[in-house]
Structure 1
Amino acid sequence: MQYLENEYLKIAVAEHGAELSSIWDKKRNKELLWQADPKFWNRHAPILFPFVGNVVNDEYRYKGQTYHMSSHGFARDMEFDFVGKTDDSISFSLKATDETRAKYPFEFELIVTHKLEGNKVNVIWEIKNLSDSEPLYYSIGGHPAFRCPINEGEKRTDYKVKFHDAKDLKYVLIIQATREVDHECPTKLTLNGDILDITEHLFDKDALIFDNNQVKKVSLCTPDGKPYITMDCSEFPSFGLWSKPVIDAEYVCLEPWFGRCDNKGFRGELPEKYGEQELAASGSRTISYSISVN
Structure 2
Amino acid sequence: MFTLKNQYLTVKINPLGAELTSVTDNDSHLEYMWQADQAFWGRHAPFLFPIVGRLQDNQYQVDGQTYQMTQHGFARDRTFTVVNQSATALTLQLQADAQSREKYPFAFKLTVHYTLVDHGLQVAATIQNQGTQTMPWSFGAHPGFNLPLGQASADFTDYQVTVAPKQVYQRVPLVGPYSDTQHAVPLDLTQPLALKHTLFDHDAQILTLNNRETTVMLSTPKDDHGVALTVAAPYLGIWSPYPKQAPFVCLEPWWGLADDVQATGDLRTKVAIHQLAPGADTQVGYQITYF
Normalised TM-score (structure 1): 0.94
**Which residue of 2 is the match for residue 66 of structure 1?**
66
Counterpart-to-counterpart distance in 2, 1:141 and 1:266: 20
**Which residue of 1 is the match for residue 36 of structure 2?**
36
**Which residue of 2 is the match for residue 101 of structure 1?**
101
**Which residue of 2 is the match for residue 203 of structure 1?**
200
Q: CA RMSD in A?
A: 1.6
**Which residue of 1 is the match for residue 8 of structure 2?**
8
Report the secondary structure of 2:199's partner residue.
coil
**Which residue of 1 is the match for residue 216 of structure 2?**
218
**Which residue of 1 is the match for residue 85 of structure 2?**
85
**Which residue of 2 is the match for residue 136 of structure 1?**
135
CA shift at 1:186, angstroms? 2.2
Counterpart-to-counterpart distance in 2, 1:91 and 1:17: 12
* Contact map agreement 2:169 2:209 (CA 8 A) in 1: no
In the alignment, structure 1 segments of 5+ residues that lack a partner are none
Counterpart-to-counterpart distance in 2, 1:247 and 1:225: 25
Deviates more, 1:213-222 or 1:107-116: 213-222
Report the secondary structure of 2:109's partner residue.
strand
CA deviations on 1:176-232 (whole Å, 9 max, x unpaired) are: 1xx2212222232244x4300002311111001112427711000123486610000
In the alignment, structure 2 segments of 5+ residues that lack a partner are none
CA shift at 1:103, angstroms? 1.2
* Contact map agreement 2:59 2:265 (CA 8 A) in 1: no
The correspondence of residues 181-200 of structure 1 with structure 2, limited to 5 A, is 181-191=179-189, 193-200=190-197
Runs of 4 or more, structure 1, over 3 Å off, are 223-227
**Which residue of 2 is the match for residue 261 of structure 1?**
258
Deviates more, 1:245-254 or 1:48-57: 245-254
CA shift at 1:87, angstroms? 3.1
Normalised TM-score (structure 2): 0.94
CA deviations on 1:240-276 (whole Å, 9 max, x unpaired) are: 0100124631100000010110112111521211111
Counterpart-to-counterpart distance in 2, 1:90 and 1:244: 30
What letter matches 1:134 in structure 2?
A: Q
**Which residue of 2 is the match for residue 76 of structure 1?**
76
CA deviations on 1:25-81 (whole Å, 9 max, x unpaired) are: 224420000000000000000000011000101011111211111000000011111
**Which residue of 1 is the match for residue 288 of structure 2?**
291
Counterpart-to-counterpart distance in 2, 1:137 and 1:201: 35
Deviates more, 1:208-217 or 1:253-262: 208-217
Report the secondary structure of 1:61's partner residue.
strand
CA shift at 1:82, angstroms? 1.6
Counterpart-to-counterpart distance in 2, 1:215 and 1:4: 27
Deviates more, 1:150-159 or 1:209-218: 209-218
Q: Aligned match of 2:277 in 277, 280, 284? A: 280
CA shift at 1:89, angstroms? 0.5
* Contact map agreement 2:164 2:216 (CA 8 A) in 1: yes
* Contact map agreement 1:160 1:225 (CA 8 A) in 2: no
**Which residue of 2 is the match for residue 249 of structure 1?**
246
What letter matches 2:166 in structure 1?
A: A
Q: Aligned match of 2:236 in 236, 239, 255? A: 239
Deviates more, 1:278-287 or 1:135-144: 278-287
Counterpart-to-counterpart distance in 1, 2:247 and 2:206: 20
What letter matches 2:248 in structure 1?
A: Y
* Contact map agreement 1:239 1:256 (CA 8 A) in 2: yes
State percent identity of aligned pairs.
35
Counterpart-to-counterpart distance in 1, 2:275 and 2:245: 40
CA deviations on 1:84-141 (whole Å, 9 max, x unpaired) are: 202320111111111110110000111111110111101110111111x212211000
Report the secondary structure of 2:229's partner residue.
strand
* Contact map agreement 2:197 2:245 (CA 8 A) in 1: no
